[in-house]
Structure 1
Amino acid sequence: MSWRAVKYEILEWRRPGLPAVLYEAAIPALIGDLTPELSPDIAALAEGASFELVRLDAELAGNAAVQSLTPLVEAISSSRIEGVVATAGAVLAVELTGVGESDARAVAANRRATLMASNLPTIGGGGMQSVHAELVNGIADENPGEYRSRPVWIGRPGSSPATADFVPPASERIAGATKDLAGFTNRVGIPALTLTAIAHAQYETVHPHGDGNGRVGRALVHPLFRTRGLTRTTVTPLAAGILADPRGYVSALEAYRSGDVEQIVRFFAESILRGVHIARTLRRELTDAQAGLRSRVHARGSSGVWHVLDLLARQPVVTAELLAAHMGIAPTNAYRHLNQLAEAGVITPKHVPRAGTTWVAEDVLTLIDGLIPERRAGHTSPALSNAGARNERQA
């Protein structure tokens, strides 16, 4: 169906000591009063994906292990879309010790931001900014939670506003556009998945921050799912579904800016179905892994080691201090359980410089990493690169 397309205005990009450069910046359409109309096929696809989201949430109710790990899969996948790559083990180690490579720290921040976002009652009233602040605080050269004051652009590294694939709106337009977007998300009578897909595409069009817009935009999907009744407790790995087709993602966002909402709704529905499949696969493979790990252990039925195994299913990287606090036991007893599981081949001790020893359930970490689609070089697009934020800081 026809939707309000983005318009453009000619602006000047000025840098000290260099000639001004003319470029086209977006003027995002205001959508607060628009009601999308979808073809029957797209509407049916979106309804089916919505039903699967509700089913998955019910299936995972009470499954603490999977409920704990799906936000991790989501954060790793959402970060990988932007070229920020870390394994599950590296992310969990950073969360426990505070020590790790920059990408692992960024993904850990993404998981915190996703969990924060999923509990927001609304994305308005500062909700968008709070998620951005959680994402970038202390790990990026950004003003956490603040809207950008300078231009950014999306394109190949080294591009300028004049050569970029897309230049989001001037900073003066951000406040009005985000207010309009928040109003749209409070509308009634629009199917939940359709509203969420459009809201995401509009957020990415506005690009309100200097960096982190893609990750924040994907995190903001989850409070919309929750407040619209599609989920109650589950963070569905939507980004893992998106990561399987990054070119389709870029194409759908470009189509949206041209006035076509059906492509982004279809892409979201298909990505949700892929994400639901990944979550169900995680539940099945985690159950198998737990059974395999338990079969290696020989202990009394009352032994605390079984409680450690349950913890490892949802927290496959632990420290003795974490285990002692979790079980309410002395650290010496925690080490006794950990050593017993290490001797059984269930966990492996790993020394973390400046942080001590972590204990790792490699079987669980391997299955998590194996569920996340690869971001292969031949399957990506330069439009996924927020080159403007980097180039702007270099200028």
Structure 2
Amino acid sequence: MKTPFIPVELPPHTLDINRFVQILGEANRSLSRYDGMIHTIINPDVLLSPFITEEATQSSMIEGTLATVDDVYACEAGVNLGGGKEADIVEIENYRKALEYASASIGDRPFSLGLIKECHRLLLDGVRGSTKTPGEFRQEQNWIGRPGASMENATFVPPSPLIVEACLDGWMRYLQTDHVDPLVQSAIMHAQFEIIHPFLDGNGRIGRLMIPLFLYVKGVLHRPMFYLSAYLEAHRDEYYARLHGVHEYDEWEAWIQFFLRAIDSQAKENVRRSAAIIRLYEDLKEQFRHATHSEHAQKVQDAIFTMPTFTIPKMVERLKECPTTTARSLLNKVVQAGIVELRYEASGRRPAVYRLASLLDIASGRDVAGYGY
């Protein structure tokens, strides 16, 4: 019978940093370039809001959801997608809420177990896993394996619930040290959290959510807006294999090298997408001004960038600073000018759905090259 795993005390004693000096340097340079770009953007919350939705979608996909970014935005606009996707989208929206809550909180409070538990409570609110003590560390044994697997034939059996909090205390003490480069430390942080597996559900998503928070606390990022889940989803098999290698064979170096490659690759991709979004925003400024002939042109543009799939009634609600009749008139002018495209025809009580397709294509990586990057 398999027995619960007992995590090694951090930092790992087998670590030879010289074996990944090159990729560490590359990852730091790529991440620094991305962070520098974000630091110069006047309104990153507007321009990069699609990144948050993309992260929530990709992180949830790793755990088995099927909904896409387009599905999330369409559902928010009131489209009934069918096929059971609504439940997936609620999970994605919960992840986004937890991520936004954590990002907003981290500037005013320390990185703590309490914050992690609050994020977990938001993550599992009203979705599958909502009966598995959201916001509380587990009090019973769990295990990882194929659906229906017993503990005897599990792939991995995390630590006993009797030592979970002691493991977390040691993990938190390690995070408060400066034992090694923060990127390496973030790799160790993530792997150890997944090994401890302190919740009955949602451990992977919470573990990924913590990466930008930790890098922000360590001063690597000016804003906690760097997300790895797109890379991890694209390399899901290796992601799981490298984590498995850590607890099964003490292969910390292989895991850290994979994690640093993920940071390097995702940072470079984020630079490309960020630059393309900035270019698109600047290119569309004149079109919004010309279409609306209004002092509210930028407000309309910003609202559409943060909700790129919309109905006119829902977008009017978002444009609270504009009188309702004015907002509706401006949006109709944007539609007539062809800045946004029709996504779904009006149907019954549901009004027509429009989308800013160019932004969605860039955010999902479908058409970054079309904007010169």
Common topology (TM > 0.5): yes
Conservation of the 8 A alpha-carbon contact between 1:346 and 1:361: yes
Conservation of the 8 A alpha-carbon contact between 1:94 and 1:105: no
The answer to whether 1:24 aligns with 2:3 is yes
Cα-to-partner distance string for 1:62-113 (whole Å, 9 max, x where unaligned): 2423432222222111111112132223324556769870111111111122
Conservation of the 8 A alpha-carbon contact between 1:152 and 1:210: yes
Secondary structure (helix, strand or coil) at the match of 1:220 reads helix
Alignment partners' CA distance in 2, 1:353 and 1:208: 47
Cα-to-partner distance string for 1:192-225 (whole Å, 9 max, x where unaligned): 0111110100000011111110000000111110
1:273 maps to which of 264, 268, 274: 264
The answer to whether 1:285 aligns with 2:276 is yes
2:94 maps to which of 68, 91, 109: 109
Cα-to-partner distance string for 1:19-77 (whole Å, 9 max, x where unaligned): xxx4332122232x656743424133223312322221111222423432222222111
Q: 1:54-69 alignment to 2 at 5 Å?
A: 54-61=32-39, 62=41, 63-64=43-44, 65-69=46-50
1:204 maps to which of 170, 174, 194: 194
Alignment partners' CA distance in 1, 2:63 and 2:232: 12
The 1:353/1:206 distance shift into structure 2, 3 A limit, reads farther
1:345 maps to which of 331, 338, 345: 338
Alignment partners' CA distance in 2, 1:214 and 1:353: 40
Conservation of the 8 A alpha-carbon contact between 1:123 and 1:220: no
Conservation of the 8 A alpha-carbon contact between 1:68 and 1:314: yes
Conservation of the 8 A alpha-carbon contact between 1:321 and 1:331: no
Alignment partners' CA distance in 2, 1:238 and 1:209: 21
Q: Which residue of 1 aligns with 2:59?
A: 78
- State the percentage of identical aligned residues: 25
Q: 1:252-331 alignment to 2 at 5 Å?
A: 252-257=242-247, 258-290=249-281, 298-299=290-291, 301-302=293-294, 304-318=296-310, 320-323=313-316, 325-326=318-319, 328-331=321-324
The answer to whether 1:333 aligns with 2:339 is no
Q: 1:1-395 alignment to 2 at 5 Å?
A: 22-31=1-10, 37-61=15-39, 62=41, 63-64=43-44, 65-92=46-73, 101-118=86-103, 119-120=105-106, 121-140=109-128, 141=130, 142-257=132-247, 258-290=249-281, 298-299=290-291, 301-302=293-294, 304-318=296-310, 320-323=313-316, 325-326=318-319, 328-347=321-340, 348=342, 350=344, 359-370=354-365
Alignment partners' CA distance in 2, 1:68 and 1:190: 32
The 1:353/1:228 distance shift into structure 2, 3 A limit, reads farther
The 1:365/1:353 distance shift into structure 2, 3 A limit, reads farther
The 1:324/1:156 distance shift into structure 2, 3 A limit, reads closer
The 1:295/1:325 distance shift into structure 2, 3 A limit, reads closer
> Structure 1 unaligned runs (5+)?
1-21, 373-395
Conservation of the 8 A alpha-carbon contact between 2:47 and 2:278: no
Equivalenced residues, count: 350
Q: Displacement, 1:284?
A: 3.3
> Structure 2 unaligned runs (5+)?
368-373
Q: Which residue of 1 aligns with 2:370?
A: none
TM-score, L = length of structure 1: 0.78
Alignment partners' CA distance in 1, 2:163 and 2:113: 17
Alignment partners' CA distance in 1, 2:213 and 2:193: 14
Alignment partners' CA distance in 2, 1:143 and 1:155: 21
The Cα RMSD (Å) is 2.9
Alignment partners' CA distance in 1, 2:56 and 2:223: 16
Conservation of the 8 A alpha-carbon contact between 1:132 and 1:212: yes
The 1:323/1:268 distance shift into structure 2, 3 A limit, reads farther
Conservation of the 8 A alpha-carbon contact between 1:147 and 1:208: yes
Alignment partners' CA distance in 2, 1:355 and 1:161: 49
